[in-house]
Amino acid sequence: MNWKENRKWWVLGALAFSLLTVGLDLTVLNLALPILATDMHATNGQLQWFADAYNLVMAAALLPAGLLGDRFGRKKMLLIALLLFGVASLVCAYADTAAALIAGRALLGLGAAFLIPLSMSIIPVLFTEEERPKAIGIWTMANAIGIPLGPIVGGWLLNHYWWGSVFLINIPIICIGLIAVSVLLKESRSAIRPKIDLIGVLVSSLGLIGITYGVIRAGEEGWGDASALIIIGAGLLMLLLFILWVRRSRNPLIDLSLFRSPSFTGGSTAAGIVSFAMFGLLFVMPQYFQAVEGSDSFHTGLKLLPIMGGLLVGAKVSELLARKLGNRTIMIAGFLLLAAGYALGANTGLDSSYSFAAIWIAIVGLGIGFVLPASMDTAIGALSAERSGVGSALIMTIRQVGGTIGVAVLGTVLSNVYRDKLELDGLPSETAEVVERSVSAGVGVAHQADSTILLHTVRDAFVQGMDVMLWVCGASAALGFVVILLYLPKRASKNSKMESGLPT
């Protein structure tokens, strides 16, 4: 392979390395929240916004980010995204007030919203159809591994340095990405030069913000919360208006004809279902390891390594098998692995060992490694180079919303079962209220009271809630299996662009 052919792999490698920061920033801050509550005197509402500002801005900006890359140049917008992410990391690291940190997290979300779809959009531009599965596998792994890596890196940094170090770790990674993109990547843009649909950008952003924020609120206040339901309803209404607008617009923000392609619709739906289940797992397992098994932050991160190991193995094996069996078969096998892994995990008991947990989360990681790259490759195969930016942004929007809804829905399931299974007879009402908030709060109260009975009750209630939640994850994997089996054609069309109505 000569230098000219090898250069595109170096570009992809640098971008994949930079994408680690996006996944890291989804989870790395969680471990620092108790420290921030003390150092910044942050309220519970402010602690919530430290995390949610990142997710909300990312969800709102993904679609226009892809369009801007298609119009103004993907290299140019990638460089801007990397610079913005680096500057935002510095703002977060040295923030001295809660408001400054929230603003920094919002800027990080904006940088991530550009970085994710634009880094994906260069794949159909740089790589041939034969090279694309490998390139998608590398990109997907980088995007996914950063999420479970966050607790490991964050736990180690917080044990040795001040909380701002969890953001400074981004800087050298971003610098590598800036140099590689500047030197190695050639500029590319859509020859059509799509106009910016300002009304579409505004309405879609309001819709995505409404749904994301409403689901986050429902996850915290319960699905009976009227404000959360009103906000979700308003978000859905905005998205309906967006679809009506797109159908009549001369220069729509997204091309609805993409959804006429079974490959695009099936692949992007599968990716959203995987994100739903994966984010739920990453939400519950740190709590299980810390509150039930008594691990500290760093060792909790280490105990999540089987997910990463399974994911890496699954991605490599699926890449090799996909050439012979096709993406459809790989995704079916992956969803079966996911369903089996979650079903096994749903039999966790209070006396279950870490060995048992390591086995079933490795199976889940293997299933994710099978489904995620294959689903992304299937969906992106329906995109022409002309619309790769906005098409990639649409795929990632579906994934982002799927993950956000997953945390809220599955978190609500966990909380409701946890509260129902608690036996708090004889406890003062104020104490019982604290115990009901979360398993961590319950364990803290039990340790303060030196009550082994209360500690057993809290941990047992949490494990029962986790089991029910994992059954729901398994059901979502079964749904993904059915979607692929019934919807995706038996032989994925090699001419997906023709299916979607896009210019080839």
Quick: pLDDT tens for 350-387: 888 999 999 999 999 999 989 988 888 888 777 665 56
User: Cα(313)–Cα(305) distance, rounded to whole angstroms?
Assistant: 12
State pLDDT tens for residues 450-471: 888 888 888 888 899 999 999 9
CB 388 within 8 A of CB 124: yes
Give the pLDDT band of residue 295 (cuts 50, 70, 90).
Answer: confident
43 vs 315 pLDDT, higher one = 315
User: Cα(51)–Cα(55) distance, rounded to whole angstroms?
Assistant: 7
Q: Residue 388's pLDDT is what?
A: 61
φ, ψ of residue 292 to 5 degrees: the values are -95, -45
Question: Burial letters for 332-354: b for 16+ Cβ neighbours within 10 Å, e otherwise?
Answer: bbbbbbbbbbbbbbbebeeebee
CB 174 within 8 A of CB 54: no
Cβ-based neighbours of 428, under 8 Å, separated by 6 or more: none
Which tokens go with 401? 């919303």
474 vs 394 pLDDT, higher one = 474
State pLDDT tens for residues 72-101: 777 888 889 889 989 999 999 998 888 898
Fold match between 1-192 and 260-499? yes
Give the pLDDT band of residue 433 (cuts 50, 70, 90).
Answer: confident
Q: Residue 500's pLDDT is what?
A: 41
**What is the arithmetic mean of pLDDT over 215-230?**
78
Q: Residue 444's pLDDT is what?
A: 81
CB 240 within 8 A of CB 472: no
Q: Residue 355's pLDDT is what?
A: 92
User: Cα(255)–Cα(502) distance, rounded to whole angstroms?
Assistant: 9
The answer to whether residue 348 scores a pLDDT higher than 60 is yes
What's the mean pLDDT when you consider all of the chain? 80
**What is the arithmetic mean of pLDDT over 100-113?**
89
Tally DSSP H helices, then E strands, for the chain.
Answer: 21, 0
Q: Residue 296's pLDDT is what?
A: 74
Give the pLDDT band of residue 494 (cuts 50, 70, 90).
Answer: very low
The answer to whether residue 476 scores a pLDDT higher than 90 is yes
* Alpha-helix residue ranges (DSSP H) falling in 383-451: 388-421, 429-437, 439-449
State the burial class of residue 6 (Cβ atoms within 10 Å of its Cβ: 0-12, 13-18, 19+): exposed
**What is the arithmetic mean of pLDDT over 94-112?**
88
- CATH classification of 260-499, choosing from 3.40.50.300, 2.60.120.10, 1.10.3720.10, 1.20.1250.20? 1.20.1250.20
Q: Residue 375's pLDDT is what?
A: 87
Give the rounded percent of residues in the chain with a pLDDT score beyond 90.
Answer: 15
Which tokens go with 39? 């150092």
**What is the arithmetic mean of pLDDT over 402-427?**
80
Domain ranges of the chain: 1-192, 197-250, 260-499
Q: Residue 389's pLDDT is what?
A: 61
Q: Residue 230's pLDDT is what?
A: 93
The three-state secondary structure class of 253 is coil
Lowest average pLDDT, out of 21-30, 35-44, 290-299, 493-502, goes to 493-502
1-192: CATH number? 1.20.1250.20
Q: Residue 126's pLDDT is what?
A: 76
The whole-model pTM stands at: 0.77
**What is the arithmetic mean of pLDDT over 290-302?**
79
Cβ-based neighbours of 28, under 8 Å, separated by 6 or more: 150, 151, 153, 154, 166
State pLDDT tens for residues 114-139: 888 778 777 777 777 777 778 877 87
**What is the arithmetic mean of pLDDT over 310-321?**
85
The answer to whether residue 247 scores a pLDDT higher than 70 is yes
How many CA atoms lie less than 13 Å away from 420 in the CB half-sphere?
Answer: 10
